[in-house]
Amino acid sequence: MIYDIINKDELRIDKKINELMYYTYNQNKLVYTEILLDKVDGFKNKLFERMGIEDMNYTYLEKELDALKLEHILDRLVGVKMFKEEQINFKQMLLKELLNTPKGSHGSVGLKTINSLFDENKLNYLVNSKKETVGELKDKRYWVISKL
Per-residue pLDDT tens digits for 95-110? 776 566 555 455 578 8
- pLDDT at site 93: 82
Whole-angstrom distance, CA of residue 59 vs CA of residue 53: 9
Whole-angstrom distance, CA of residue 121 vs CA of residue 133: 33
What's the pLDDT band for 18 if we cut at 50, 70, 90?
very high
- pLDDT at site 104: 46
Asked if 77 contacts 89 with a C-beta cutoff of 8 angstroms, the reply is no
What is the rounded average pLDDT of the residues 47-69?
Answer: 68
Neighbours of 116 (CB within 10 A): 10
What's the pLDDT band for 65 if we cut at 50, 70, 90?
low
As a dihedral over the C-alpha atoms of residue 82, residue 86, residue 92, residue 95, rounded to 10 degrees, the angle is: -10
- pLDDT at site 57: 60
What is the rounded average pLDDT of the residues 55-66?
Answer: 63
- pLDDT at site 107: 58
Helix 42-51, helix 19-37: angle, nearest 10:
130
Sketch the domain layout of the chain as residue ranges.
2-51, 62-147
Helix (H, G, I), strand (E, B) or coil at 3: strand
DSSP string, 110-132: -HHHHHHHHHHTT--EEEEEEE-
What's the pLDDT band for 62 if we cut at 50, 70, 90?
low
What is the rounded average pLDDT of the residues 105-124?
Answer: 79
- pLDDT at site 128: 94
Prediction pTM value? 0.52
Helix spans in 16-56 (H): 19-37, 42-51
- Is the pLDDT at 52 greater than 80, yes or no? no
What's the pLDDT band for 49 if we cut at 50, 70, 90?
confident
